[in-house]
Amino acid sequence: MNQDTILVITFGLILFIAYQIRRWYLLKQKSYQVSTQIAGGMVLTISDHNPKQDNASLSLHFKRPQETEYKPEAAIEFLLKKGDFDRQSFESLGIEPTFQVVADSPDSWVLEFEKRDLLKAVREKEIKLNRFRFVVMQNSSPAIKSHVFMFSEKFMLIIVERGKHN
């Protein structure tokens, strides 16, 4: 073998390894904690899973200080002008949770749903999607609310107060 053949084989091997590393990185599951709200001992954490892929999903993790007999329910408040809002439950929007479970302990609860279901529901209900927040309801009253969000052009969640991608 001459030097040119060894050089071509080495270069090809480097390209193949680079391609495999890039492919692994793109297929790797990515989760980002977008927001955490703490109020009255309750904690609401919003996470975005695989935000730039077709199977993107959002999860709400709610933790309360003590166990209660009320099962938490999730809702979304679409903010209108002058502080008014339109609160819609996930059921009324037609969003089916892909994962809903009482987590580590009875005082913890996780709800996961696909981001495209939220966007589809907003289009079907003709809601002007500008600003919204997630709300966890207990006994038909809001227990805790998340930060105010909006979607970027690439449908990434942005916290309005911070004005940056999360």
Domain boundaries along the sequence of the chain: 31-165
pLDDT value of residue 18: 96
Q: Which residues of the chain have pLDDT under 70?
A: 67-69, 99-106, 128-129, 162-166
Q: How far apart are CA 132 and CA 26, in angstroms?
A: 29
pLDDT value of residue 166: 47
Q: What's the pTM value of the predicted model, to 2 decimals?
A: 0.75
- CATH of region 31-165, choose from 1.25.10, 2.60.40, 1.25.40, 2.30.30: 2.60.40
Q: Is the CB of residue 87 less than 8 Å from the CB of residue 75?
A: yes
pLDDT in tens, 30-56: 888 888 998 888 889 999 888 877 788
